[in-house]
Amino acid sequence: MGGGPRLVGGPGTADFVASYKTAIASHPGRRSGKTVESIVDAYLDSQDFATKRDRTQADYRKIAVRIVADFGDMPIAALADKRVRDEFLQWRDNLAKRSPRQADYAYAVLALILSWAKGRGTIDVNPCERGGKLYSATRADKIWREHDEVAFLKIASHALSMAFLTAIWTGQRQGDVLALTWTAYDGSGLRLRQSKTGRYVVTPVWAPLKAVLDAEPRRAVTILTTQAGLTWTPDGFGASWRKAARKAGINGLTFHDLRGTAVLRVALAVCTVPEIATITGHSIRDVQSILDSNHFSSRRSARRKWNPQARAVRKPRATH
């Protein structure tokens, strides 16, 4: 879309800012609702947004507030100006001073909203397309070792111990682990559709996990519950997990790192990279990266270090 007052000067200069403010004040879009804020509002009311997971919706809404605060009154017509792309990239750079990873996520949400608007014909150009990423670190080498496991399970509550064991023996993401229901368990495997990828996976239930699942009372629809027997909320679980990890002296490891740890354990029983990917839902490339980063070069040498069947079954502490 074209039209609108001409912006002068380079992005970030006094002339550009002044002409931009003048454009906002004089542009009919300010009065008619043809602004970036109107695009954000329309997206949040859309079916595309409604189909997102609750946690994803909550995250998007938080970022939407920031987008509207910083760009909400920008006329839609201004998005066609080539210099606006640099404004958005500078916005991401400023956010990255606090967290490059969160900056990438915020920029991706902005790009997604504008892509949705472009698909609907509201705008002709998405200035945030192909913006790349600032955060590129990998956690392929971040693995829970046996001493980490012992330290955590020693102080963790029964509820958190159950979550730990379920994650480390299935290799699934936190949201999918918390959402597992008893109907997904048939005594030998767990069946689920991963919320992030939509991939249907069946993960075998290894002996250590089977022992605790079979002994666990079914207090709710979900397998994992709080100490009170209620289904976890993502925020509640995250806060409880971080508190326990700090108390156990766990540094530099997250719940998500249990997913990579599971890859090593499954590798001992399954052997092939494609089979591991089928069970955990990782891409073949990610499975290979995890194995390579942890020097998992042969089943024989790894068995001495990562033998899941040889490990003692550490049952979660009884609920007091």
Q: What is the mean pLDDT of each run of 10 residues along the chain (320 residues)?
A: 53 59 52 82 96 89 95 94 94 93 95 97 95 81 93 97 96 95 96 90 93 96 96 94 97 94 85 87 90 70 44 49
Contact between residue 280 and residue 262 where contact means Cβ atoms under 8 Å apart:
yes
- Asked if the structure places residue 158 within a domain, the reply is yes
Residue 139: what pLDDT?
Answer: 80
Task: Examine the fold and report which residue of 119, 138, 156 is the final residue of a domain before the chain moves on.
Answer: 119
Alpha carbons 320 and 318: distance in angstroms, whole number:
6
- Asked if the structure places residue 165 within a domain, the reply is yes
Q: Are residues 151 and 104 located together in one domain of the fold?
A: no
- Asked if the structure places residue 9 within a domain, the reply is no
Q: Are residues 151 and 115 located together in one domain of the fold?
A: no
Q: Are residues 154 and 229 located together in one domain of the fold?
A: yes
Q: Are residues 112 and 197 located together in one domain of the fold?
A: no
Residue 261: what pLDDT?
Answer: 93
Q: Are residues 227 and 192 located together in one domain of the fold?
A: yes
Task: Examine the fold and report which residue of 119, 138, 168 is the final residue of a domain before the chain moves on.
Answer: 119
Name the residue among 271, 247, 105, 239 with its Cα closest to residue 174.
Answer: 239
Q: Are residues 224 and 177 located together in one domain of the fold?
A: yes
- What's the DSSP call for residue 8? -
Alpha carbons 23 and 76: distance in angstroms, whole number:
11
Buried b (16+ CB within 10 A) or exposed e, 191-228: ebeebeeeeebebebbebbbebbeebeeebebbbbbee
- Asked if the structure places residue 156 within a domain, the reply is yes
Q: Are residues 105 and 152 located together in one domain of the fold?
A: no
- Asked if the structure places residue 223 within a domain, the reply is yes
Give residues with Cβ within 8 angstroms of 62, minimum separation 6.
none
Q: Are residues 54 and 175 located together in one domain of the fold?
A: no
Alpha carbons 188 and 204: distance in angstroms, whole number:
6
Q: What is the CA radius of gyration of the chain?
A: 24
Backbone φ, ψ for residue 257 (5° rounding): -70, -15
Residue 8: what pLDDT?
Answer: 63
Query: Which run of H or of E encompasses 317?
Result: none
Residue 269: what pLDDT?
Answer: 76
Task: Examine the fold and report which residue of 66, 100, 119 is the final residue of a domain before the chain moves on.
Answer: 119
Distances in Å between the Cα of 14 and the Cα atoms of 18, 25, 88, 216 are 6, 17, 17, 65
Q: Are residues 298 and 186 located together in one domain of the fold?
A: yes
Q: Are residues 115 and 170 located together in one domain of the fold?
A: no
- Asked if the structure places residue 91 within a domain, the reply is yes
- Asked if the structure places residue 137 within a domain, the reply is no
- Asked if the structure places residue 312 within a domain, the reply is no
Name the residue among 34, 41, 75, 39 with its Cα closest to residue 61.
Answer: 41
Q: Are residues 298 and 151 located together in one domain of the fold?
A: yes
Q: Which domain CATH number covers 172? A: 1.10.443.10
Alpha carbons 171 and 286: distance in angstroms, whole number:
13
Backbone φ, ψ for residue 24 (5° rounding): -65, -45
Give residues with Cβ within 8 angstroms of 151, minimum separation 6.
248, 249, 250
> Angle CA(286)–CA(145)–CA(263) in degrees, nearest 5?
25
Q: Structurally, how many domains does the chain consist of?
A: 2
Structural tokens at position 35: 């602004």
Which structural domain, as residue segments, surrounds residue 108?
Answer: 14-119
Alpha carbons 221 and 86: distance in angstroms, whole number:
49
Q: Are residues 168 and 115 located together in one domain of the fold?
A: no
Residue 247: what pLDDT?
Answer: 97
| DSSP SS3 for 278 | helix
Residue 305: what pLDDT?
Answer: 44
Alpha carbons 272 and 68: distance in angstroms, whole number:
48
